[in-house]
Amino acid sequence: MTQKDRNLGIFGGLSEVKMNELRKMIIGLDTEDLRRLTLLINDPEAFAEEISELLPHSLKLMLERDKVSYAALIPLVEEALKDSIRKNPKTLADILFPIMMPAIRKAVAEDIKEMIDSLNSTLENGFSPQRIGWRFKALFSGKSYAEIVLSNAYIFRVKQVFLIHKKTGLLLNSASDNQNPVAKDADMVSSMLSAIKDFVQDSFDVDQENELSTIKVGQFNIWIEQGPGAIIAAIVEGEAPSLLRTVLKETVEKVHLKQSYDLDKFDGDVDTFKKTDPFLENCIINEQKEKKKKKPLILIVLLLIIIGLASYWTYRFIEKEIRIDKLEDALKAEPGIIITDDERVNGKTIFEGLRDPLATKPRLLAKANNVDTSEVDFNLKAFISLDSKMILQRAYAILQPPKTVELSFSNGLLFATGEVEEDWVTDAQKKYPFIIGVNKFDKTGLFILTNRSKVEKRILAIEEYFFVFKYKTVQLNVSQEIKFKNLIDEVNTVLDFNFSQDSVPVLVVLAHTSYDGNAEANKNVAFDRAQQFINLMINAGLPMEVLVPKTDFIEDIEEAYPVRSVSFKVIYSKPEDL
Amino acid sequence: MIKKKVVMLGSFAVGKTSLVQRFVNSIFSEKYLTTIGVKIDQKIINIDNTEVNLLLWDIHGNDDYQKIKPAYIMGSSGCFIVIDGTRRSTLETGIELIETAKKTAPDSHIIILINKSDLKEDWDINDHDINEFKSQGFEVFETSAKTDNTVEHAFTRISELMLNK
């Protein structure tokens, strides 16, 4: 028997296999299980390894079964965090950086927005007639000025107002805009608000002046105003101005003034606070200033086009009316035209009346007044006008005076002035009785040219002519030809008239020369020039017998005619002397 | 309408939340308990044709790390002190909380709820302890969130006390 068998006592005779079976029967573990357990107990690292697999699962179960709460773990985690920050703040800063930066940016943006809103509000709602109006409205309506301003000037809405008992956090009264109260359960919300307020107050150890005044929840802001016994909480949609704070403060003051005792002795009966209804309802500001709508650009453009076209058409219409009115005035002022009526047919103005045939054509007047013929028409019947101007015009038409004569008319008398030939006067005296409106013709203003004086004038004119030629040539250039024709006409007029029975007109053609060189030769050349010029005149139809060639030596350098020129002189001589 | 503030106090995990969950109207998430330390529930109860609106402040458990804020207890008319029958330590905390409540809300009516009556075999609290509370004038209810309706009775009773009926 071995030592081992002796230790086993009565089991000493059993084999190892049998012992193992027996061990398993008694304690449920075999040699291998025992060996593993012994190892776990003796080796802490192996034990920790084993436990680590179970611990998370155990913790989860404990939390589920309320054996331990998250709150109990928070201090541990917080302490771990604090320790970590103390040791190496940079690590946590790096972790938080992606979260903190957007948050900081957002906060800064919010602050800037608030500042701009405040500035805009101040600028927009400064001193103005509208503000004075609101002051009067506040005076007569019994509402405070701040309430009036809020209901008119800002885009926001107070959806719900709670009056909360400060000590208990119980809702004493509330008011809403009756449409859709924001808070689902006013009682619980009020208590929760009160709890949050207390939490903030306790947690941050703030003093009385810095109590929680605003909570932002999504699109809503909760504005809180505290009194000694009660709190007002207003749920506000949109960005309210600081004036709302004034309204809330006034409301808290009113509530305390009226129900200070009730607040102090409050035992849960909220019916006594029904009296605060009007105060709370005043805080419900439902009216919204109409938001500035975006301007419909297309509509504005269309409107501008329509206004533009309408203005253009109006302008055209008025301008046309003005032009036609001016034309009518011009027609009425025009001698020989009488306008009796005008009517509008298919946008065209038709003038009716009378017109002297000698009067200005109405279409010319229309053109002068910038009126198109498509705009007007004339239905004017012919008549003889006795208007002075028309009588005068008629006198001109019938008598056809030369340009040297001017006619004037007054009170039936036709008066002629100027220089005229005797023949016209004779003719006029015969014709003037046929001029309607003219009773008498006055010729005393006329200088009547007799035939003799007429001829004398012609002679003087003839003697003004002279022609200069080149040496030994008598050829007329273009301008000399015109001059020559006029001369022939003048000479013909003179030849037609005899001053007396015993003399006839003779035209002496003087060829001018000088004594330079051979005077005799010069004289011959000059004479030849005179003869050649006479030939030209004969060719032009003048009778040869009245043309006499002569030479003339230029004695004085100052003399009027240059050498190699031809001039003329009319003389009267007896026929036998020719 | 009569409204009353009722607070629920007790150690961690005594089952305050579970206890009232079935009986109250609740709109807030339990996360408020761990964030700001309180969650508000509502219970409307009828006492002799008088409707009482109870605003129940479920206050986060008292422990070494987070003390109950006195402001939460202030102004309460009723107070449930909840003790876990299986953990004697919660009884000691309960006694401390009674003192806190008395100090902070002297007019508050206190009822003691010894919870987890379904695990009575494992209780660390005995009749002597319960009688001790009773001798001090406190009403004691043995409750269970799982098995009985004593909670409803507790609400009725605290309402009666608050209305002095």
Contact B27, A184 (CB under 8 A): yes
Mean pLDDT of chain A: 82
Residue A303 CA to residue A550 CA, distance in Å, equals 96
Burial status of residue A452 (CB atoms within 10 A of its CB: 0-12, 13-18, 19 or more): exposed
Q: Residue ranges of the domains in chain B? A: 2-162
CA-CA-CA-CA dihedral for A334, A338, A340, A343, to nearest 10: -50
Residue B45 CA to residue A286 CA, distance in Å, equals 35
CA distance B74 to chain A (A): 6
Residue A284 CA to residue A277 CA, distance in Å, equals 11
Q: Which fold has domain B2-162?
A: Rossmann fold (3.40.50)
Q: HSE-up of B135 (CA within 13 Å, CB side)?
A: 6
Residue A168 CA to residue A174 CA, distance in Å, equals 16
Residue A480 CA to residue A474 CA, distance in Å, equals 11
CA distance B137 to chain A (A): 23
- CA A287 from centre of chain: 36
For A168, the closest chain B residue by CA position comes to B75
Instruction: Please report the pLDDT score of residue B79 as a whole number.
Output: 95
CA distance A270 to chain B (A): 6
Residue A108 CA to residue A25 CA, distance in Å, equals 76
Residue A167 CA to residue B106 CA, distance in Å, equals 13
> For residue A551, which of A508, A510, A506, A498 has the smallest C-alpha distance?
A510
Residue B57 CA to residue A466 CA, distance in Å, equals 142
For residue A24, what are the contacts with CB-CB under 8 A and spacing of at least 6? A30
* Measured CA angle at A60 (ends A57, A63), to 5 deg: 150
Buried b (16+ CB within 10 A) or exposed e, A481-507: eeebeebeebbebbbeeeeeeeebbbb
Contact B43, B54 (CB under 8 A): yes
pLDDT tens figures, A510-555: 999 888 888 899 899 999 999 999 999 999 999 988 899 999 888 7
When CB atoms are compared, the residue of B37, B55, B75 closest to A187 is B55
When CB atoms are compared, the residue of A71, A74, A169 closest to B75 is A169
Q: Would the CB atoms of A170 and B5 count as touching at under 8 Å?
A: yes
Q: Where are the beta strands (DSSP E) in B33-133?
A: 38-47, 50-59, 78-84, 109-115
Q: Would the CB atoms of A191 and B5 count as touching at under 8 Å?
A: yes
Q: Is the pTM of this model over 0.90?
A: no
Full pLDDT tens readout for chain A, 578 residues: 445 445 555 555 667 777 777 777 777 777 778 888 888 788 878 788 778 778 878 877 887 777 777 777 778 888 888 888 887 777 777 676 656 666 666 666 666 666 555 555 554 555 567 777 777 777 777 777 766 766 666 678 888 899 999 889 999 998 888 766 666 688 888 888 888 888 887 777 666 556 778 888 777 888 998 888 899 999 888 778 778 888 888 898 888 888 888 888 898 889 989 989 989 988 888 655 555 556 678 888 999 999 999 999 999 889 888 998 999 999 988 889 999 998 888 888 999 999 998 898 999 989 988 888 888 899 999 999 888 889 999 999 999 999 989 999 998 999 999 988 888 888 999 999 999 889 999 988 888 877 777 788 889 999 999 999 888 788 889 999 999 999 999 998 888 776 666 778 899 999 998 888 888 998 999 999 999 999 999 999 999 888 999 998 887 767 778 888 999 999 888 777 66
**DSSP one-letter code for A287:** -
ipTM score of complex? 0.87
